Structure 1
Amino acid sequence: RDRLGDEDVPAYMFKEVARLDPEPVLFVNDYNVECGNDPNATPEKYAEQVAWLQSCGAVVRGIGLQGHVQNPVGEVICAALDRLAKTGVPIWFTELDVPEYDVGLRAKDLEVVLREAYAHPAVEGIVFWGFMQGTMWRQNAWLVDADGTVNEAGQMFLNLQKEWKTDARGNFDGDGNFKFRGFYGRYVVEVTTAKRKQMLNTSTVEKGDNTPVVVDLADA
C-alpha cells in the first residue's frame, strides 16, 4: 500500500477480482494470528482488517490462518478462533505445519492444533503445507520420512482421521428409523434386510443439515 500510495488498494483488489470473475472464493490470509506472540498480528487487528474490507464493499468469504505454528497452546488458538468467528466469515488453516525436532513432541504439538481447529464450528477446512521429508518449506515438520515411513506425527494424524469418522451399527426401530450421533461428511449406508439382501446408499450430511437420510426398501 505504501508503494502504491493508496490505502484502499486491498479493497480495490478484492472488488476488481470479483468483478472480473465472481466465481472464486476470496480470502484474506495472514500468519502468526493464531500464535498469540506477535503484537502486529493479533486476532483483533485481523478482525478489524476484515471489517474494514467489508465496509469498503469487498466481499470477504474466507479468513485464512497460515498455521506455521511452534509450541502451540490450545487455549490461545481457541481464543483466536473465537475472536475471528465473531466476523461471521468461515475460517481455514491454509498452510499448516508444526516444526519440532523431536518427532514425539511434533506429534503432540500437531495434535493440539488439529483438535482445536476441528472442534471449532467456525473452522471449515485445514490445508497442510506439505507432509514429506525433503519437500517441506520448514524443516522438522514432516509426517512421512524420506523412505516412505509414516513417523509418529503422521501416525497421530491417521489416528485422528479414524477417530473423526463415524461407524454406527444397529437395527431399525418399529418405525423404520435408526438414529445415531455422528460427524458431518460423506456417509456410506449399508442395509441388510431380513431376506439378507444388501442395499447401499451414499449421502452427504452438511453442516447444519438435520434432514434424515432415507433408504428406500420398497424393493428389498
Structure 2
Amino acid sequence: MKLQSLRRAAVGVSAAALLLIGGAPSGHAAEAPVLRDLAAAKGIYYGTAVSASKLNGTYASVVTEQFDSITPGNEMKWGSVEPTRGSYNWSGADAVVDFAEANDQKVRGHTLVWHSQLPSWVENGTWTADSLRTVMTDHIATEAGRYKGRIDHWDVVNEPFNEDGTRRQSIFQTAIGDSYIADAFRAARAADPDAKLYLNDYNVEGINAKSTAMYDLVKSFKEQGVPIDGVGLQAHLILGQVPSTLQANIQRFADLGVDVVITELDIRMTVPPTEAQLAQQKADYKAVTSACVAVARCKGITVWGFTDSDSWIPDFFDGYGAATPYDENYQPKPAYYGIAEALGWTGDTTPGPTGGCAVTYTVQNQWDTGFTAQVTVKNSGTTAVNGWQLAWSWPSGQSVNQAWNATVTQSGSAVTATNASYNASVAPGSTVTFGFNGTLSGANTAPTGFTLNGTDCTTA
C-alpha cells in the first residue's frame, strides 16, 4: 500500500464517509479527487483551518483525507493561551498539533502577535515601549518555544496595516512603534529557528495601497536582514471579485525572495445560493488556486474552514454565507471540484450509486408540437448519490425547451439533466423528480437508455 492508503486506513474512513467527501465506489466513475494528493503533485500543500473541539467523526475524517496542513482557528491566539498573565491553557493548541502529527499534516501556527483577541491584561495595560516589548517577546518565546520543531509556519504578526497602507494603531504600534514587527520576527526566529516566519494580512491579495505597504516592509526587512520567510494573503473574498492582479501580486512578493501562501481563503455570497452563484464560486476557487500554482514560490493554500457549518462568515456578514468548498452536511460543492481542476484533476465529478438506479418516464400532456414530461429517478443502490446527472438520447428527434427541478442541456439527440442545488443528494431507496416541456415534429417515442452519473439505469 502507498503511504496515503496507509494513512486513510489508519483513520478508519468508512465507505459512507468517502461518499460524503466525493468518493467513487462505482466502476462507472473515476476516482474522486483528494486535494492533499493533487496539491502534493504540484509541489504545494492544501490546508484548512480547524476547530479543535470538532476534530472527531466525519469532520475529522474529511480533514484527514483531504488536507495536508491545518491551522488552529483560535486555539493559538494570545487570548486563548494566556488569558491571565503567566497562566497558560495549551489544551486546544496541543489537540490541534497532536492531531496533525498523527495524520501526517503540517501545522500553521496562528498567530503570535495580533491586535485582536488579546487578553485584557495586554489590551488594557499601561506600557512603556520597553515593557511591552518584553511582554511581547516573552510571549513569543513561550509559545513558539513550546512547539519548537513541530510548527511548519508561524503567522508571526497578523494584520498590521490599515487599508490605505498606514500602520494600524494597535497597542503594539502605539506603545513600541514601527520596530515592533521586526522585534517580533527576531524573537520568533530565536524561539524556533526551523519554522518559516510569515507576515499575514487581509485585502492584500491584489496590487493596491495596502499590499504595496506590505511589499515595501518585506523589501526593507530583506535588506536589513530581519528574518522573514514569507507573506500570507488571507483571501477572504466576495463572489465574483477575485482580484485580476492576484497572480502578479504573488509574483512580485516572490521576486523579493520570500515564499507566498494563501492563508485564509473563503468566498462568500448572498444566501441561499443559486446554481449560478455556486458555479461562479467554483470558478473563483479555481482561479485563486490556479494563480498560486502558476508561481513557483507560492507554497500552499489554506481554506478558512472547509465546511459551511464551521464558517465565520454568517456571524460577521449579515445575509452572506456558503463560503467554503463543502456544505453544512460535509458534502462537496462545485467549489471543491474547481480546486481539484486547478490542481490538475480531470475526473468525473459525479459518482454513481453502487447497485443501480431506476427511471420512470411519464408524458403528462401532449399536443401537436409539444409535450410535458416528468422523470423520477430512484437510487436503488446501497450508497448515496451526492450530485447527479441523468443522461439519455431522444429516439424521435424531440428537444427540451424548459425544465424545472433540474438544469437540462441538449446537444443533438443527447440530453443531460443536472441536479438543482436543493436536490443534489439522493439517499439509497430515495427518489428525485424533475420535469420539462419539450417540442416534437412527429412521433414522441419514450427514451429507454438512461444513465445516472455513468451508471446504467433500468426503466420502470
Letter in 1 for 2:336: G
Listed one character per residue, the Cα deviations across residues 102-152 of structure 1 (whole Å, up to 9, x for unaligned) are 212111111111111111222111111111122012222122122232222
Which segments of 5 or more consecutive residues in structure 2 lack a partner in the other structure? 1-171, 271-276, 314-320, 348-460
Q: Which amino acid in the other structure matches residue 9 of structure 1?
A: Y
The Cα of 1:164 is off from its aligned counterpart by: 8.2
Match of 1:4 among 175, 182, 185: 175
Distance 1:90 1:15 in 2: 18
| Alignment pair present for 1:32 and 2:203 | yes
Which of 226, 237, 245 in structure 2 is aligned with 1:58? 226
Maintained 8 Å contact 2:264/2:303: yes
Query: Deviation at 1:155?
Result: 2.7
Note the alpha carbon deviations across 1:2-28, whole angstroms, 9 max, x for none.
Answer: 322332111111112212331221111
* Letter aligned with residue 50 of structure 1: V
2:333 aligned to 151, 166, 172, which one? 151
* DSSP-derived class of the 1:93 partner: strand
SS of alignment partner, residue 280 of structure 2? helix
SS at the partner of 2:322? coil
Range with greater deviation from structure 2 (19-28 or 69-78): 69-78
Please say if residues 63 and 92 of structure 1, whose CA atoms lie closer than 8 Å, have aligned partners that are also in contact: yes
SS at match of 2:228: coil
Q: Aligned partners of 2:223 and 2:175: how far apart in 1?
A: 21
Structure number, greater radius of gyration = 2
User: Structure 1 residues 73 and 6, CA, compared in 2 at 3 Å: closer, same or farther?
Assistant: closer
* Structure 1 position 21 matched with structure 2 position 192: yes
User: In the alignment, what sits opposite 1:179?
Assistant: none
Aligned residue type for 1:76: T
Unaligned 5+ segments in structure 1 are 166-220
CA distance in 1, matches of 2:187, 2:343: 39
Counterpart residue identity of residue 338, structure 2: M
Tell me, yes or no, if structure 1 residue 96 matches structure 2 residue 278.
Answer: no
The alignment of Structure 1 onto Structure 2 pairs a total of residues equal to 162
Q: 2-side partners of 1:2 and 1:128: how far apart?
A: 29
Question: Aligned partners of 1:58 and 1:164: how far apart in 2?
Answer: 43
| Contact 2:293–2:343 (8 Å) recurs in 1 | no
Greater strand proportion? 2
> Could you say if the C-alpha distance between residues 53 and 104 of structure 1 is closer, same or farther in structure 2, counting changes exceeding 3 Å?
same
How far apart are the structure 2 equivalents of 1:35 and 1:136? 23
- Any conservation in 2 of the 1:73–1:112 contact (CA below 8 Å)? yes
Q: Under a length normalisation based on structure 1, what TM-score does the superposition of the two structures give?
A: 0.65
Q: Within 2, Cα distance between the matches of 1:151 and 1:111? A: 13
For the residue of structure 2 that corresponds to 1:33, the secondary structure is coil
In structure 2, how many angstroms separate the alpha carbons of the residues matched to 1:142 and 1:73?
Answer: 15
The residue that corresponds to 2:54 in the other structure is: none
| 2:205 matches 1:68 | no
TM-score when scaled to structure 2? 0.33
Q: CA deviation at 1:46?
A: 1.5
In structure 2, how many angstroms separate the alpha carbons of the residues matched to 1:10 and 1:148?
39
2:248 alignment partner in structure 1: 79
Please report how far the alpha carbon of residue 31 of structure 1 lies from its aligned counterpart in structure 2 after TM superposition: 1.2
Kindly indicate whether structure 1 or structure 2 has the higher relative contact order, using CA contacts under 8 Å at least 6 residues apart: 2
Distance 2:204 2:263 in 1: 12
- The one-letter code of the counterpart of 1:123 is C
Deviations 1:166-193 (A, max 9, x none): xxxxxxxxxxxxxxxxxxxxxxxxxxxx
CA, structure 1 residues 45+88, in 2 after alignment: closer, same or farther (shift >3 Å)? same
The alignment partner of 1:163 has SS state of: coil
Following superposition, the deviation at residue 88 of structure 1 comes to 1.1
Partner of 1:136: 311
Two-structure CA RMSD over aligned residues (Å): 2.3
1:15–1:57 contact (8 Å) kept in structure 2: no
CA distance in 2, matches of 1:6, 1:156: 43
| Paired-residue identity, % | 25
Partner of 1:107: 282
Within 2, Cα distance between the matches of 1:160 and 1:83? 21
Cα separation, 1, equivalents of 2:340 and 2:223: 42
CA distance 1:161–1:20, shift in 2 (3 Å): closer
SS in 1 for 2:284: helix
Task: Summarize the alignment of residues 149-188 of structure 1 with structure 2, pairs less than 5 Å apart.
Answer: 149-163=331-345
Pairwise CA distance, 1:73: 4.3
